[in-house]
Amino acid sequence: MIYNDNNGAQGLVARWTLTFLHALTYVMLFGLASVDAQLLSSDSPAGYIDNAIVRNRFRLRFDAAYDNPFPDRAEFFYAKCGCFSGGNGPGPAFPDSGVDFQELEFAAEHLVYGDMVSAFVELPIRFINPDFNENAAGLGDIRAGFKAALLSDDNSILTFQLRGYFPTGDGIKGLGTEHVSLEPGFLFASQANRLSTFGEFRAWIPIGGEKETFNGTVRNFSGTVLRYGLGAGYDIYQEYCCSEQAVTNRLTAVTEVVGWTVLDGLKFRDPTPTNPVSLGDAVFDSAVNDTIVNLKLGLRWSTPRDSIYVGYGRALTGDIWYRDIVRAEYVLRY
């Protein structure tokens, strides 16, 4: 067994984090200074960045993503594969280097304390299409948590969110991670006239997860993953009711940049992907400092009661979770 630890650019995580926080701080200050529009009279137009608005809603979402080369990286997508000597991983039996997947998600959020705190649950149904392992479908890892508005005015909101990931997906089929994870984060949204801005900073922290021993050193296979994003939406079409100050329906063009940085963990690479059963030359790679950045483009049609979003995402970096992703969702507010 060979272990490669790619420890170049030791300050990469710190630089990315500091740059993002500077940008998010600027957006927050700009948003909190805006006074000429009512905050998101329909809802946040974001398609991929988590919604900072705390309210009652139901969401139906469909994702189709393609070409995940390291599906067990830090056990973020699915569990460590069972492709090691003795099959000691809870994930799929063989290594895969090009996993496609689709996910249908049912989500509900409900206010539990005024209009400042809400609880939510997300139920994903995953369809996985690996190169070597069998196709599978079923319940993924259920997610649940709460959101609490920390600061808000008529135009802007800063929200704390805590999400838990629970191992309800069958790891051996690639439907889950087989461990609990916690994800604290901060979300921001602002609106000024036709322009809305939004951002997020989240930390996905595995609780438990697999380990691997190399030369007497026990290393975590799972690892903490930072997620950060900034986005903007511009209303390219608006319909008014009663007065020009009351926007009812709107069509919003949405642009988002979303990134992930892996702080710890491993990933499995098979140097002979055409013969995944042969494990004699299997290679561990460090996932530390793997940084993924995606560009997301989409459109959202919003009414006072609901909205529809369609969008496309493309990886901008060499490290990827997927090469391409298509998302469609329907949101009903109540």
Q: Which CATH number belongs to the domain containing residue 283 in this structure?
A: 2.40.160.40
> What would the pLDDT profile of 8-57 be if each residue is shown by its tens digit?
444 554 455 555 555 555 544 554 443 334 554 458 999 999 999 999 99
pLDDT over 90 (residue 312): yes
Q: What is the pLDDT of residue 31?
A: 44
pLDDT, position 1? 42
User: Residue 82 has what pLDDT?
Assistant: 77
Flag whether pLDDT at 249 surpasses 80: yes
196 within 8 A of 236, measured Cβ to Cβ: no
Higher pLDDT, 280 or 100: 100
In the chain, pLDDT over 70 holds for what percent of residues? 80
Tell me: pLDDT of 87 over 70: no
Confidence label for 241 from pLDDT (cuts 50, 70 and 90): confident
**What is the pLDDT, as a whole number, of residue 179?**
96
Work out the average pLDDT over 152-164. Answer: 94
Tens of pLDDT, residues 95-140: 788 899 999 999 999 999 999 999 999 999 999 999 888 999 999 9
Tell me: the pLDDT tens digits for 324-334? 999 999 999 99
Q: How confident is the model at residue 7 (pLDDT cuts 50, 70, 90)?
A: very low
**Structural domain total, the chain:** 1
| pLDDT score, position 285 | 82
The pLDDT of residue 55: 95
| pTM, rounded to two decimals | 0.85
The predicted structure's pLDDT at residue 240 = 85
Average pLDDT taken over every residue of the chain? 86
Q: Structural domain of residue 45, as residue ranges?
A: 2-333
Read off the pLDDT of each residue in 176-193 and give the average, rounded to a whole number: 96
